[in-house]
Amino acid sequence: MNVQPGLDQFLSLEAPLPRPRRRRGLRLAALAAAVLAIGFVGVRYFYPHAVEGEVLRPGMLDVELQGPGTLSALTEASVGSRIQARIEELAVDRNDVVAKGETLARLAFDDLSGEFDAAEASAHAAERTVSVAQAERDRAVATLEKARATHERQVALLAKGVASEAGLEDALATRRQAEADLARAGRAVEQAEAERDAATARIAVARAQLDDSVLRAPISGVVVSRTHHVGEVLTPGSEVLHLVDPASLVLTARLDESVISAVLPGQAARVTFTRAEDPISGHVLRLRREVDEETREFEIDITLDTLPANWALGQRAMARIMIERRGPVLTVPTSFLVWCDGRPGVWVATRARARWREVTLGEAGAKRVEIRRGLDAGQKILKPGDLYPFMRVRLAGPAT
């Protein structure tokens, strides 16, 4: 009868036995977490990480200005048609090199030959008309001289009482008629000469049109574009070919107006074209005396010592103009700068720990920038990467 309560009491006493096992598991987990935390902290703050960098030392700095630009030409020409005609022949194509005066294209102008022949025929006829009119004028001059002499003789005879009044009047009428004939002959000569000049002008027009049907190179250079093909009909003013003198190619670069006083003709420059391996040297040719009202930029022309293997008008490039050589000054690579809340700074290694140091920048060069305040010679500067404050570091070597 009393067996069951004893069993229940036994069972109630044995139930709490698994709890010590859970406590042991929690203690092991906490120990493992502590070990991991200690390992993480050790790796993060006590294990030295190799970081690229350099020891800061004074050196020379080439102060440069940088600006984008496009390739343009100082000598170029557009070859087009002055008449409406069909292209009969194209002697050149893109990339062809041509000499000044070389025939580039011929236009078919079917009515031109007939107009030229007609103009020449009219000129010959007008020349003959001038000759006939001049002969008539010479005859009128001779007739007038005879009439004048007769009239003067009749006046003398009338004074002696030998001639009559009627004879004098007839001589005077003959003289006046001769004078009128001479005036008419003179006007005929003038009209004939005017017709001859008009015919000559028509010949000049026809010859000019004939010359316009042959398109010649106005400059020596390279054909950079062709906009029409054989068989197409051109209207007056249509461009057929565009020529450029490669010797006149320049890079037109844009700079902010704030540096206009620092740029002078003759300054050394380096130009890097898109995808070019090495920069091309050159120098500033001239400054353009106009500032864009919207961008507040001005343009400069840079002549190139050599041209890229493949060039094209309008090709983009980056220009660097050296305006000053300063030194010795402290400089850091521009890739080492790290901005924090709009302030420039550099990671430095102090007592083998990484720390960010705010700096004051000075002049800038192609790859380095002057540090005016914030760093001292001999300090170790680090290349940015996965750095964080108080990270244990060791200098692995110069940054690349």
Helix/strand/coil for 291: strand
Helix/strand/coil for 321: strand
Structural element, H or E, at residue 16: none
Residues 147, 188, single domain; the answer is: yes
Write down which residue in 191, 212, 233 finishes a domain: 212
Contact partners, residue 364, CB within 8 Å, separation at least 6: 63, 64, 334, 370
Residues 89, 227, single domain; the answer is: yes
pLDDT computed for residue 363 by the predictor: 84
More confident residue, 381 or 182: 381
Most confident of the following: 26-30, 103-107, 173-177: 103-107
- Report the alpha-carbon distance of residue 191 to residue 197 in Å, rounded: 10
CA distances from 381 to 223, 387, 398 (A): 53, 12, 10
Domain contains 43:
no
pTM: 0.60
pLDDT tens digit sequence for 324-370: 888 799 999 988 999 988 899 999 988 888 899 999 998 888 788 88
Domain contains 33:
no
4 CB neighbour count, 10 Å cutoff: 8
CATH number at residue 358: 2.40.420.20
Contact predicate 354/387, CB 8 Å: yes
What is the share, in percent, of the chain residues with pLDDT greater than 90? Answer: 34
More confident residue, 16 or 346: 346
Write down which residue in 286, 310, 325 finishes a domain: 325
Contact predicate 126/195, CB 8 Å: yes
DSSP one-letter string for 20-89: HHHHHHHHHHHHHHHHHHHHHHIIIIISPEEEEEEE--EEEEEEEEEEEEEEEESSEEEEE-SS-EEEEE
How many structural domains compose the chain? Answer: 4
Residues 332, 320, single domain; the answer is: no
Residues 208, 116, single domain; the answer is: yes
Helix/strand/coil for 393: strand
pLDDT computed for residue 219 by the predictor: 94
Residues 388, 366, single domain; the answer is: yes
pLDDT computed for residue 396 by the predictor: 80
What is the share, in percent, of the chain residues with pLDDT greater than 70? Answer: 82
Helix/strand/coil for 148: helix
Residues 96, 226, single domain; the answer is: yes
Q: Tokens standing for 335?
A: 């890739």
Residue 28: which pLDDT band, with cuts at 50, 70 and 90? low
Residue with tokens 């094209």: 312
pLDDT computed for residue 21 by the predictor: 58
Residues 357, 367, single domain; the answer is: yes
Write down which residue in 282, 309, 325 finishes a domain: 325
Residues 196, 233, single domain; the answer is: no
DSSP one-letter string for 323-353: EEEEEEEEEEEGGG-EEETTEEEEEEEETTE
pLDDT of residue 15 exceeding 70: no
Query: Which domain covers residue 288, as residue numbers?
Result: 65-72+245-325
pLDDT tens digit sequence for 31-74: 666 656 555 555 565 667 888 888 999 998 888 898 999 999 99
Residues 204, 128, single domain; the answer is: yes
**Region of residue 119 (phi > 0: left; psi between -120 and 50: alpha; otherwise: beta):** alpha
Cis peptide before 384 (omega within 30 of 0): no
pLDDT computed for residue 114 by the predictor: 61
The angle, 0 to 180 degrees and rounded to 10, between the axes of the packed helices 112-160 and 165-212 is 160
Residues 268, 256, single domain; the answer is: yes
Residues 382, 320, single domain; the answer is: no
Domain contains 257:
yes
CATH number at residue 205: 1.20.120
Domain contains 16:
no
pLDDT tens digit sequence for 131-145: 777 787 788 788 878
Domain contains 169:
yes
Average confidence (pLDDT) over 232-240 = 89
The 3-state DSSP composition of the chain as helix, strand, coil percent (nearest 5) reads: 35, 35, 25
Residues 354, 393, single domain; the answer is: yes
Domain contains 19:
no
Exposure of 70 by Cβ count < 10 A (0-12 exposed, 13-18 middle, 19+ buried)?
Answer: middle
Average pLDDT, the chain: 82
Exposure of 14 by Cβ count < 10 A (0-12 exposed, 13-18 middle, 19+ buried)?
Answer: exposed
CATH number at residue 94: 2.40.50.100
Domain contains 44:
no
Domain contains 133:
yes
